[in-house]
Amino acid sequence: MTKIVILHSDIPPDASADELDCLRQAEAISSALRLLNYEPVPLPFVLDLNQTIKELKNLRPYIVFNIVETVAGRGCLIHLAPTLLDYLQIPYTGCPTEAMFITSNKPLSKKFLRHAGIATPDWLEQDGSFFQTSRPGKYLIKSSWEHASVGLDETSLIAYTNTKDILQEMNRRENKLGGACFAEAYIEGREFNVAIISDKNGGRVLPIAEMLFRDYTSDKPKIVDYKAKWVADSFEYNNTIRKFDFAPEDAGLITALREIALRCWELFGLRGYARVDFRVDNNGKPWVLEINTNPCLSPEAGFAAALEEAGIKFHEAVNLIIQNALKL
């Protein structure tokens, strides 16, 4: 059987729920690869690059399925995996090094979006740089590098008073957020996820999902925070609902989200699969929050749900991702 290495984050025994999810993804992908008559070989990507290089050279894989999300527990090193695979000249799935680096640094990707004329909320960086087009209101303090809503909760939303106070609050939250952070203007409105997968015609937008915040009180921020994603017995987890059906009056909005997501796909040179997250304000204007070049592929996650809605079986999607990488 043809050997495919599933390169994943090196997960310690005491890892948090979001980190452990990488192993669930590896299991799901392994099952899909067996259905496709490949031999899956899971391999953790360790910070000792010589060890990782040795393992990869010994295995001599046909291709690497890259799902590395963190290195040594840090999202800021996510680009090391594709960088090393580029160096070894081993074909790999998913987005290339440049796209992985740029989009994983959220403030950096927002600069690319704004330069391209794609709407993204105002933001303030820790060096005091303020990318502002409107009057300050509420701001979410978010990690610059870490994904999976790490460190994000309802206390992350604060009212803008002045730049000095926001900067102090950002510095105070650094450890909780895993390092560098930024403050992003909060868009009151609706939230959408747009998953994209490569097929023979390029990027294919899967059915668009809206996140509903059921029974949230008026004073509770409507955000997909860490609890909503990972804490199964929490109010947030049980009341943040994904839906794919839309009223006829949303047709124009859905078309706009699809078109903007594909613009992002082209702008950042994405490939394989990705997800673009949006907020839509109360005037119906879409704002890009971030581009996820390594979205979760767990069976219960949003990407798998979009595949199911599109009538694409999981192993068929895995095959599309592999075939896209082999064509490069």
Q: Which residues pair with 39 in a beta bridge?
A: 3
User: Three-class SS of residue 165?
Assistant: helix
Phi, psi angle pair for 204, to nearest 5°: -110, 120
pLDDT value at residue 220: 95
Tokens of 23: 């192993």
Is the backbone of residue 69 left (phi > 0), alpha (psi -120 to 50) or beta?
Answer: alpha
> What is the CB-side half-sphere exposure of residue 327 using CA atoms within 13 A?
14
**pLDDT score at 200:** 85
277 vs 49: CA distance, rounded Å: 32
Alpha carbon 268 to chain centroid, angstroms: 14
Q: Extract the tokens encoding 275.
A: 């997800």
Q: Classify residue 61 by its DSSP letter.
A: -
Per-residue pLDDT, 162: 93
Q: What pLDDT is stored for residue 14 in this prediction?
A: 86
Give the residue among 9, 23, 10 at the shortest CA–CA distance from 66. 9
pLDDT in tens, the chain (328 residues): 799 999 999 999 889 999 999 999 999 999 999 999 999 999 999 999 999 999 999 999 999 999 999 999 999 999 999 999 999 999 999 999 999 999 999 999 999 999 999 999 999 999 999 999 988 899 999 999 998 899 999 999 999 999 999 999 999 999 999 899 999 999 999 999 999 999 988 899 999 999 999 999 999 999 999 999 999 999 999 999 999 999 999 999 999 999 999 999 999 999 999 999 999 999 999 999 999 999 999 999 999 999 999 999 999 999 999 999 998 7
Query: What residue has token string 């960088």?
Result: 83
Reduce the DSSP state of residue 179 to 3 states and report it.
coil
End-to-end Cα separation, the chain, in angstroms:
22
CB-neighbour burial class of residue 250 (10 A; exposed 0-12, middle 13-18, buried 19+): middle
